[in-house]
Chain A
Amino acid sequence: MKNMTHLFILFLGTLIFAVPSVFAKYPNRPITYQVPFNPGGQTDVEARRQQPRLEKILGEKVMVQYKPGGGGSIGWTNLIKQRPNGYFMSGINIPHIILQPLARGNAGYETEQLKPVAFFQATPIGLAVMKNSKFKTLEDLVAYAKKNPGAITCGGSGTWSGHHIAYLQFQKAAGIKMTYIPFKGASPSVAAFLGRHVTTLWGNSNNLFQHREKIRVLAYGTEKPFAPMPNVPTFKSKGYNILASIDRGVAVPPRTPASVIKTLEKAFLSISRDPEVRRQMLADGFIPLEMDSQQAAAYIKSKVVEWAPVVKEFKK
């Protein structure tokens, strides 16, 4: 009997605490931050950089959870199944979230189902050769490729990835033929490039920046010159209209209330503005971004329009 009384008190107690929480201000309990890649990757590093700052701004615990597989698709498929209440968010990457549904047919999610909160980091993609290569400029490379179709090998990370699509766009724009060799991730492709198993590398700015002593970047896929390496030309300045980068942001499930997105957006953007965060990112070869939810959605749309025909053309 005594037990029953205890249980009843416990039950009442639970009610008292539970009921108001429904109406309480967001957030009032821990938030899960999903990393759809393996621990140690750049998405993880960014989440870990943000984690303590997010906790400070939002006043709640933020828990990082890994859900790797399928180049991110398994995590994003998981994201759209979560309750849209703001307590589950996930890192998202362009171009992955656009190219996977386009190339695979059924990736488990659709690009439109991911509601972007903000984009906070851009990683420009560049084309590099080793320092002692006979290709001094992009023109040298193009001239050689025109004479020897398919002879130049390009390492890169994955198929239907940012590197792959930049390679396809460049080939088309320059009217040349090279050979793309996909690797499982950026690190193996960098290793294969430094070991001279491939002639050129489509690489992320941070990797190219890290190995700048040993390599020569022929061009970056940026609008303006890449700030940490201002002497490297852009594809645009060489007459090829190619903008290539990997952009990292965060998204919530479809139908998440606008007010919740607003709260999260504010938190992420204020972290992006943090001078210490900006300094760290630039020192590692990244470009800090401050793209809000609306800009992010428009940016994703513009990229879908840009890449859909490219995928359609090359997907046999």
Chain B
Amino acid sequence: MFDSVFIGLEQVFQLQNLTFLFFGVFMGIIFGALPGLTATMGLALLVPFTFTMAPSTGLIMLAGIYVGAMYGDSIPAILINTPGTPAAIATTFDGFPLSQKGMAQHGLVAAAFSSSYGSLTANVVLALAAPPLAIASLMFGPPEYFWLAIFGLTIISTISSGSIFKDLLAGTLGLMLSTIGMAPIGGDVRLTFGFTDLQGGVALIVALIGFFCLPEILNSVIGQRKRTYTAVTVKPSFKVIREVIVDLFKQPVLMLRSSAIGTVIGFAPGAGGNIASMVSYNEAARWDKHPEEFGKGTIKGVAASEAANSAMAPGSLIPLLTLGIPGSPPAAVILGALMLHGLRPGAELFTTHADITFSFIMGLLVAAFLVTIIGSFGSFFFARIINIPSRFLAPGILFMTVLGSYAIRNSMLDVWIMFVFGIIGYISSKLKFHPAPIVLGLILGPFAEEGLVQSMLAGKASGSVVGYMVFRPISLVLISMCVLSALWPVFASWRAKKRQALVVEGGAND
């Protein structure tokens, strides 16, 4: 195997391949950063160019795009509260507050470094243990997806706006929005109000732009006529880069846990980066010594989200390369590219075609380093974007949101939906609703519904629905995690009270 690793590295470091890798990472960052353009689309657009290349060169370039996009989506998330792809939704929770504090560069560097970290960790796992993990990935069936979705929904309690009633209401709205379109089971068309285009449901990115980005634009122009998008201007410096990286090195548990969560959710076929980043963010906030810092702008929040969604990319390739089952939509495009080059997933890829496969894996690895380099230097340029006066920046962003909403499915209806959501988002932010539970519901609704109905059908056939849904190893773990997560706020407040009591007691003894 080590031979293959070296051959792979040798391939990547050929000048021509390195150039294509750099180009891929660069294009990936752009596709990731523009809301509405996704890693999937970037890959699909560039796949035809790989036809004329040697398979390893083509795959190395695709590796660059995938890794680059997983970082790129954090840039708008941090700067303008708009995740470039749904996978960066949790990056906005702390990224944008950082920008508002004038620490945009901190956020950008943290995102780049943790992206690389997550990607590297998952890559090592991919190179060393793909075949056994692929078999483990098959243990995720309908009940597991259902419980994973329920666990995901408990995150609502972490990103709370202060009122659990409002959060639950927002979460329910999200779940209801997720039922628009074709029913996953039964194929009925639901809640389309006569618009045939709504058969495809609400596109996630359109909802993200509407609920996260548009309210910020409106906030920056309505009433206050603020001169700049954020109150504080950014002054990028090399010192920040060093500080952030050193700080993150002091958080090994956070980084490893986030990468592990990303890898595992990545190799479960079906769940994607958006779930990975949110679960990871939630766990980071839960186990941190200062959970109160989360949501108010901490690089730890950005790191948790980005490490996880970048680890998801190599993770999603585990079932792809070994079983031919893509773990994410971009992985599906890579599958198409492999097939067109005559490479069939399976054991063959790691034996007969090991050279090409490891060129690809090493491409992913080296791309991860490029992300830190490009991200660190790029932060000087990107961070200054929000220093542009609002009267230029706001229309510019507005233009991009329209373009992005249209581009995702070439649909004008999506643009109107984006505007409607934007107005709802603006009004609800004035009423102190957090938009995250809405989007959470929208993301997790289909998983929960599909998993539940499939489990019930299969359970009924096996004789016991409860037996099929509960008594399975991963299900049991996930159920206990749901219960713990739901009870956590109670425990946390009890612990806080006890601490307070101790402090009071200690004070009395003085």
Residues of chain A whose beta carbon lies under 8 Å from any beta carbon of chain B: 38-41, 44-45, 48-49, 51-52, 64-71, 73-74, 77-78, 103-104, 106-108, 150-153, 158-160, 179-184, 187-188, 190-192, 194-198, 210-211, 280, 283-284
Contacts and interface: CB of A to CB of B under 8 A. Distances in A.
Nearest to B457: A181
A187 B327 CA distance: 9
Contact of A179 (B43, B137, B270, B460): B460
Given A52-B51, A104-B189, A284-B339, A184 B333 contact: no
A156 to B, nearest CB: 11
Interface in B168-225: 181-187, 189, 196-197, 199-201
B461 interface: yes
B200 A69 contact: yes
A161 B477 CA distance: 35
B106 to A, nearest CB: 35
Size class of the contact patch on chain B:
35 or more
Interface of B: 40-41, 43-44, 47-48, 51, 137-142, 181-187, 189, 196-197, 199-201, 269-270, 319, 323-326, 329-336, 339-340, 342, 344-346, 409-411, 450, 454, 457-458, 460-463
Contact of B184 (A77, A180, A182, A187): A182
A184 B334 CA distance: 19
A150 to B, nearest CB: 6
The 7 closest A-B pairs by CB, nearest first: A69-B200, A108-B196, A40-B332, A70-B199, A197-B141, A159-B187, A195-B138
Given A65-B410, A187-B325, A195-B141, A39 B199 contact: no
Contacts of A38: 40, 329, 332
Contacts of B462: 151, 153
B48 A74 contact: no
20 contacts: A39-B43, A39-B44, A39-B332, A40-B326, A40-B329, A41-B336, A48-B47, A48-B336, A69-B197, A69-B409, A70-B182, A106-B196, A108-B196, A108-B199, A182-B186, A187-B332, A191-B323, A192-B454, A194-B325, A197-B141
Given A39-B333, A40-B326, A210 B138 contact: no
B82 to A, nearest CB: 22
Contact of A67 (B48, B196, B326, B409): B409
A71 B182 contact: yes
Given A48-B340, A210-B344, A151 B47 contact: no
Contacts of A160: 187
B43 to A, nearest CB: 7
B454 to A, nearest CB: 5
Given A68-B409, A179-B460, A191-B269, A40 B44 contact: yes
A177 to B, nearest CB: 10
Given A40-B335, A52-B48, A69 B329 contact: no
Nearest to B269: A191
Contacts of B138: 191, 194-196
B319 A69 contact: no
Given A104-B187, A180-B457, A210-B344, 4 more contacts: A40-B44, A67-B410, A70-B199, A184-B184
Contact of B325 (A49, A78, A190): A190
A141 B475 CA distance: 30
Contact of A77 (B51, B196, B344, B454): B196
Nearest to A213: B346
Contact of A73 (B137, B199, B342): B199
A192 B115 CA distance: 30
A54 B502 CA distance: 78
Contacts of B141: 192, 195, 197
Contacts of B186: 159, 182
A183 B140 CA distance: 14
A39 B41 contact: yes
A197 B142 contact: yes
A158 B336 contact: no
Contacts, number: 157
Contact of B458 (A78, A106, A153): A153
A150 B460 contact: yes
A44 B458 contact: no
B184 A51 contact: no
B458 A181 contact: yes
Nearest to B456: A181
Greatest chain B CB density within 10 A among A107, A179, A197 is at A197
A153 B454 CA distance: 10
A106 to B, nearest CB: 7
Contacts of B461: 150-153, 179
A62 to B, nearest CB: 10
B44 A66 contact: yes
Contacts of A188: 269-270
A67 B410 CA distance: 6
B342 A280 contact: yes
B121 to A, nearest CB: 24
B270 A191 contact: yes
A40 B336 contact: yes
B323 to A, nearest CB: 7
B191 to A, nearest CB: 13
Contacts of A69: 181, 197, 199-201, 409
A160 B183 CA distance: 12
Nearest to A34: B410
A211 B40 CA distance: 26
Contacts of A159: 183, 185-187
Nearest to A108: B196
Contacts of A74: 196-197, 199-200, 409, 411
Nearest to A280: B342
A179 B458 contact: yes
A46 to B, nearest CB: 10
B40 A39 contact: yes
Nearest to B141: A197
Contacts of A210: 324, 344-346
Given A151-B461, A191-B270, A210-B324, A45 B339 contact: yes
A187 B269 contact: yes
Given A40-B326, A69-B201, A190-B325, A198 B182 contact: no
Contact of B181 (A66, A70, A78, A198): A70
Contact of A181 (B332, B333, B454): B454
Contacts of A182: 184-187, 454
Contacts of A68: 200, 409
Given A48-B47, A73-B196, A179 B329 contact: no
B14 to A, nearest CB: 26
A18 to B, nearest CB: 26
Contacts of A70: 181-182, 196, 199-200
A314 to B, nearest CB: 11
Contacts of A184: 184, 450
Nearest to A283: B342
Contacts of A104: 187, 189, 199
Contacts of A108: 196-197, 199
B460 to A, nearest CB: 7
Contact of B196 (A65, A107, A196, A283): A107
A191 B269 CA distance: 8
A43 to B, nearest CB: 10
Greatest chain A CB density within 10 A among B200, B331, B411 is at B200
Contacts of B196: 70, 73-74, 77, 106-108
